[in-house]
């Protein structure tokens, strides 16, 4: 290979050959510690398979090469040499180190880049002979018991990161705050041993790791959607113009992309791809930024990633070589299942080497070696562990594989089910509903699914199941049933035999039950069907172990399904009369003894009659209560409010008010529900002044009768004012009553009497005309009666307050004279004072007009 020395423009021919670097090294599994395979880290030598791959047990160290040499006819020394875990690096677990004594060489391990740098002591160059010896002593070690399957190592004379997968080099250039377009230009101005630089274009997970997770800083990469929003393409390098993402953060990639969570989001016009700052979401992933990024913080560009390689005109370099180790892995597993105790076969396949089988997740000795493992006899489910091992390596990841032992259902095999031959044809064949016998086939019916078949093979394969709810034994008297559980249960198959009983109820036998209607007179009532049970059982020679069930439908009775669920409280479904089907079985053996329509239910009618809701009588008399419209010849029982029997005649004469009820009894002895009625006493009214309120402070008055508390009597009364045959009667308040004397009438609505009282509404006329024409010649005070008032005084004043006259309002009125002379026409004022019988003075003031 020819390289240019850009410092002196001197062309050098440097030929470097790295022997042993084209082979792939293998990285094997976890150290196996037991008596026959126990070794220390110091005595483990690299194992090589037929392909030249090395073998390594995790938690130990292994040289990264089996041999190494440098052939350079021009030089004998070098300034630095770089060895990097370029693919499959696991930070915090993986490390490269130099073993043994190499006094002329010093090393530096960079955990960020996964790179080991070898340099001379004191900054001096390294002799090739010293470097070759040192590289052979560089070892890889991982503290992970489950490392990545493949790890690639690059060996190079340059400091840039080298990825064997692409053959390209990558470096991070720090430049805080640089714009994307400036970064693109800067990257294209950079070269690496003659290779053209460009902003990195990342097309694989390995490339994303070495440019993101394993670089010394984060910055711009070559992606953008500036041309078309949402269409992300590479704008640099050999992949320029290639689309790698469509849409926002919910979009998709046609090849590869490594966006951070909820990116790209085009926040404030973000069109350029950037490797996300550490600690923000997924390490090494991408986010979109504006062309300038932020001025500070996590979204401020800190630099850019330059990629070298793949550009037209690039020289062919021989700066680097690579090697690989592979960790044996369990590639696939096949758990096993068995029904009931026994041996389970488990399967596993390793990527390379053998499969070791263990009983525990850690420690212990192998139970077996090979892709197939037959467990010991198991009574319960157990987890075993498979580990991939190469050449006896005793360490590695153990993969759990479950050996499942399912519980077979508990079944009664070989049972005979016997049904009654009551289908109308006495031929030994009848229909069975096999689902009604499941409790005889297994003690735990609720945990299993039952299916029935004509052959054992069909049952095994679960094919051609019969209709278990309507099967006739004319097809076959032998069936096979499959009982299958869920979860921890498996299935089992048993045989069931079908037979037809020869016993039956006596011909014409029917047990009759009668009861009275439930009181709604609708022909329905409640029966306790168990009252018939003993008589039904007595129809068979032996009643020991026999049970009785009741059905509404004949087919249900024949097939033993849908029995009446609550026979202690059954309400007939047909009004007044219903016949039920009865079935007698031996539940232990499943034998039917008899089935048929053998229970008759009759609902007897209850008496029907009517009464008035209420009856009245006048005080001192009585009332006769007579049942109305009876539908039969009934007996009657009469009761008072205390539910005491007071009579048993067809009618009842009552002279005391209160609540009563009567029960009618039919000829069948069925009582009717109690019919309640009320008897009320009524009396003539007694109108007294204390029960009458007169409000007469205005131009008209209001008369109110206080009768709600029974002060007038026991009756229900109608009230009338002045005319007992006029309007009214429904009210006890009379409004807008003109001043004067009025007659108030109270009439008992039940015809028990009437009373009347004179009521006065007090008032002074608005004017009078003392002109001797015999019309309004005297000012008379209206509505004053001695029943309400004991005395009174009426005073007349002129407009100046001078007393013009004083009279007794109970006597004649005022004539308009003062000192024997008539007063002139004018307005006059008055004061009326009335004293009631309790001594209370009622005073009112007003005015009137004297006219000629």
SS3 618: strand
CA distances from 537 to 210, 508, 554, 568, 689 (A): 90, 16, 19, 17, 83
Q: Which range among 212-221, 422-431, 473-482 shows the weakest confidence by mean pLDDT?
A: 422-431
SS3 42: helix
Q: Which residue has the tokens 């009517």?
A: 610
Q: 613: alpha, beta or left, given left = phi > 0 and alpha = psi -120 to 50?
A: alpha
- Phi, psi torsion values for 465, nearest 5 degrees: -65, 145
What is the mean pLDDT of the segment spanning 698-714?
85
Indicate whether 152 pLDDT > 60.
yes
Q: 7: alpha, beta or left, given left = phi > 0 and alpha = psi -120 to 50?
A: alpha
The alpha-helical segments, DSSP class H, found in 517-643 are: 533-537, 554-559
Sign, Cα dihedral of 30, 34, 36, 41 = positive
Q: Chain-wide mean pLDDT for the chain?
A: 88
Sign, Cα dihedral of 184, 188, 192, 195 = positive
**Which pLDDT value is given to residue 379?**
95
Cβ atoms of residues 23 and 51 within 8 Å: yes
Taking only the tens place, the pLDDT of each residue in 747-763 is: 988 889 999 999 999 99
**Which pLDDT value is given to residue 486?**
87
What is the mean pLDDT of the segment spanning 255-273?
96
Indicate whether 377 pLDDT > 60.
yes
Indicate whether 46 pLDDT > 50.
no
Taking only the tens place, the pLDDT of each residue in 208-262 is: 999 998 888 889 999 999 999 999 999 999 999 999 999 999 999 999 999 999 9
Name residues whose C-beta falls within 8 Å of residue 461's C-beta, 6 or more positions apart in sequence.
none
d(CA 521, CA 530): 25
d(CA 17, CA 3): 15
Q: Which of 368, 373, 372, 365 is nearest to 394 (CA)?
A: 365
Cβ atoms of residues 812 and 842 within 8 Å: no
- Phi, psi torsion values for 567, nearest 5 degrees: -65, -20
Q: Which of 747, 699, 702, 700 is nearest to 724 (CA)?
A: 747
Q: Which of 325, 322, 323 is nearest to 393 (CA)?
A: 325
- The enclosing H or E element of 142 equals strand 138-142
Name residues whose C-beta falls within 8 Å of residue 325's C-beta, 6 or more positions apart in sequence.
24, 25, 26, 27, 53, 54, 56, 62, 64, 140, 150, 151, 153
d(CA 564, CA 580): 10
**Which pLDDT value is given to residue 51?**
52
What is the mean pLDDT of the segment spanning 787-792?
89
Q: Which residue has the tokens 């693109």?
A: 184
Beta-strand ranges (E) seen in 343-389 are 345-350, 354-358, 368-369, 372-374, 382-389
Name residues whose C-beta falls within 8 Å of residue 580's C-beta, 6 or more positions apart in sequence.
529, 550, 551, 552, 564, 597, 599, 601
Name residues whose C-beta falls within 8 Å of residue 641's C-beta, 6 or more positions apart in sequence.
658, 659, 660
Name residues whose C-beta falls within 8 Å of residue 290's C-beta, 6 or more positions apart in sequence.
268, 269, 270, 271, 272
Taking only the tens place, the pLDDT of each residue in 726-738 is: 776 778 899 999 9
Cβ atoms of residues 721 and 703 within 8 Å: yes
Task: For residue 43, name the pLDDT band (cuts at 50, 70, 90).
Answer: very low
CA dihedral 283, 284, 285, 289 (to 10 degrees): 110
Indicate whether 73 pLDDT > 90.
no
d(CA 391, CA 395): 11
Task: For residue 614, name the pLDDT band (cuts at 50, 70, 90).
Answer: very high
What is the mean pLDDT of the segment spanning 21-44?
25
Task: For residue 307, name the pLDDT band (cuts at 50, 70, 90).
Answer: very high
For 116, other C-beta atoms within 10 Å of its C-beta total: 23
Indicate whether 50 pLDDT > 70.
no
Note the pTM of the prediction, 2 decimals: 0.53
**Which pLDDT value is given to residue 543?**
61
d(CA 237, CA 201): 7
**Which pLDDT value is given to residue 19?**
30
- Burial (Cβ within 10 Å: 0-12, 13-18, ≥19) of residue 671: middle
**Which pLDDT value is given to residue 730?**
79
Q: 486 versus 204: which is more confidently predicted?
A: 204
Q: Which range among 298-312, 365-379, 439-453, 648-662 shows the weakest confidence by mean pLDDT?
A: 439-453
Indicate whether 801 pLDDT > 80.
yes
d(CA 30, CA 28): 7
d(CA 20, CA 65): 7
CA dihedral 375, 381, 382, 385 (to 10 degrees): 70
Sign, Cα dihedral of 510, 511, 514, 515 = negative
Bridge-based pairing of strands 372-374 and 320-326 is unpaired
Q: Which of 307, 303, 313, 273 is nearest to 291 (CA)?
A: 273
Q: Which of 334, 337, 459, 494 is nearest to 406 (CA)?
A: 337
- Phi, psi torsion values for 813, nearest 5 degrees: -80, -170
Name residues whose C-beta falls within 8 Å of residue 575's C-beta, 6 or more positions apart in sequence.
522, 523, 524, 603
**Which pLDDT value is given to residue 147?**
87
Q: 539: alpha, beta or left, given left = phi > 0 and alpha = psi -120 to 50?
A: alpha
Taking only the tens place, the pLDDT of each residue in 569-591 is: 999 999 999 999 999 998 888 88
SS3 803: strand
d(CA 264, CA 267): 8
Give pairs for 206-209: CB < 8 Å, separation 24+: 206/86, 206/87, 206/152, 206/163, 206/165, 207/163, 207/165, 207/166, 207/168, 208/256, 208/258, 208/284, 208/285, 209/87, 209/89, 209/284
Task: For residue 162, name the pLDDT band (cuts at 50, 70, 90).
Answer: very high
């Amino acid at each position: 290979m020819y390289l240019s020395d850009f410092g002196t423009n001197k062309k050098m021919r440097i030929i470097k050959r790295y022997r042993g670097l084209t082979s792939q090294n293998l990285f094997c599994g976890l150290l196996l510690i037991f008596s026959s395979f126990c070794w220390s880290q110091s005595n483990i030598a690299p194992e090589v398979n037929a392909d030249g791959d090395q073998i390594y047990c995790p938690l130990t160290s292994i040289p990264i090469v089996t041999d190494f040499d440098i052939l350079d006819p021009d030089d004998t020394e070098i300034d630095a040499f770089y060895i990097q875990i370029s693919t499959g690096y696991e930070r915090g677990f993986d490390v490269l180190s130099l073993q043994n004594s190499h006094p002329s060489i010093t090393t530096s391990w960079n955990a960020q880049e996964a790179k080991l740098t070898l340099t001379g002591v004191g900054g001096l160059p390294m002799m090739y002979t010293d470097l070759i010896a040192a590289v052979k002593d560089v070892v890889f070690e991982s503290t992970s018991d489950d490392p990545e399957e493949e790890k690639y190592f690059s060996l190079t004379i340059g400091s840039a990161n080298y990825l064997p997968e692409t053959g390209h080099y990558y470096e991070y250039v720090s430049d805080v705050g640089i714009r994307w377009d400036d970064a693109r230009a800067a990257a294209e101005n950079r070269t690496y041993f003659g290779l053209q630089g460009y902003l990195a274009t990342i097309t694989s997970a390995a490339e994303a790791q070495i440019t993101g997770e394993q670089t010394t800083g984060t910055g711009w990469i070559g992606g953008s959607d500036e041309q078309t929003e949402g269409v992300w393409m590479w704008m640099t390098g050999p992949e320029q113009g290639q689309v790698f993402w469509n849409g926002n953060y919910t979009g998709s990639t046609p090849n590869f992309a490594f966006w951070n969570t909820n990116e790209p989001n085009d926040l404030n016009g973000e069109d350029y791809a950037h490797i996300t700052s550490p600690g923000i979401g997924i390490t090494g992933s991408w986010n979109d930024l504006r062309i300038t990024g932020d001025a500070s913080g996590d979204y401020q560009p800190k630099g850019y990633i330059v990629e070298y390689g793949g550009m037209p005109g690039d020289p062919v370099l021989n700066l680097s070589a690579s090697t690989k180790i592979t960790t044996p892995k369990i590639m696939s597993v096949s758990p096993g299942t068995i029904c009931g105790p026994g041996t389970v076969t488990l399967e596993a396949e390793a990527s390379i080497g053998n499969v070791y089988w263990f009983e525990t997740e850690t420690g212990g000795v192998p139970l077996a070696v090979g892709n197939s493992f037959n467990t010991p006899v198991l009574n319960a489910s157990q987890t075993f562990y498979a580990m991939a091992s190469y050449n006896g390596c005793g360490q590695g990841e153990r993969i759990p594989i479950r050996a499942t032992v399912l519980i077979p259902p508990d079944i009664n095999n070989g049972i005979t089910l016997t049904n009654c031959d009551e289908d109308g044809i006495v031929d030994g064949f009848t229909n069975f509903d096999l689902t009604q016998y499941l409790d005889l086939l297994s003690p735990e019916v609720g945990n299993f699914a039952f299916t029935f078949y004509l052959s054992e093979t069909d049952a095994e394969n679960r094919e051609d199941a019969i209709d278990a709810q309507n099967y006739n034994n004319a097809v076959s008297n032998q069936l096979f049933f499959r009982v299958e559980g869920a979860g921890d249960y498996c299935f089992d198959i048993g045989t069931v035999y079908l037979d037809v009983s020869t016993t039956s109820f006596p011909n014409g036998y029917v047990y009759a039950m009668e009861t009275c209607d439930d009181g709604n007179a609708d022909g329905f009532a409640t029966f306790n069907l168990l009252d018939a049970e003993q008589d039904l059982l007595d129809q068979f020679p032996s009643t020991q172990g026999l049970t009785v069930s009741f059905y509404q439908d004949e087919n249900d009775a024949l097939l033993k399904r849908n029995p009446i669920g609550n026979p202690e409280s059954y309400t007939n479904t047909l009004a007044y009369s219903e016949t039920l089907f009865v079935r007698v079985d031996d539940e232990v053996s499943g034998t039917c003894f008899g089935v048929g329509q053998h229970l008759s239910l009759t609902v007897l009618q209850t008496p029907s009659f009517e009464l008035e809701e209420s009856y009245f009588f006048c005080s001192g008399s009585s009332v006769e209560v007579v049942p109305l419209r009876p539908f039969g010849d009934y007996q009657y029982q009469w009761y008072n409010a205390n539910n005491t029997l007071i009579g048993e005649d067809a009618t009842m004469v009552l002279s005391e008010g209160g609540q009563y009820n009567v029960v009618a009894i039919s000829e069948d002895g069925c009582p009717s529900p109690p019919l309640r009625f009320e008897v009320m006493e009524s009396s003539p009214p007694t109108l007294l002044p204390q029960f009458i309120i007169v409000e007469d402070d205005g131009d008209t008055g209001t008369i109110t009768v206080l009768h709600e508390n029974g002060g007038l009597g026991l009756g229900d009364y109608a009230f009338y004012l002045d005319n007992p045959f006029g309007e009214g009667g429904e009210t006890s308040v009379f409004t807008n009553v003109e001043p004067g004397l009025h007659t108030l009438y109270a009439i008992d609505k039940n015809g028990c009497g009437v009373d009347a009282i004179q009521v006065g509404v007090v008032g002074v006329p608005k004017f009078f005309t003392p002109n001797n024409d015999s019309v309004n010649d005297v000012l008379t005070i209206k509505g004053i009666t001695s029943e309400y008032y004991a005395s009174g005084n009426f005073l007349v004043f002129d407009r100046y307050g001078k007393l013009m006259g004083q009279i007794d309002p109970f006597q004649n009125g005022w004539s308009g004279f003062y000192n024997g002379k008539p007063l002139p026409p004018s307005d006059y004022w008055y004061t009326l004072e009335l004293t009631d019988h309790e001594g209370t003075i009622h005073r009112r003031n007003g005015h009137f007009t004297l006219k000629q």
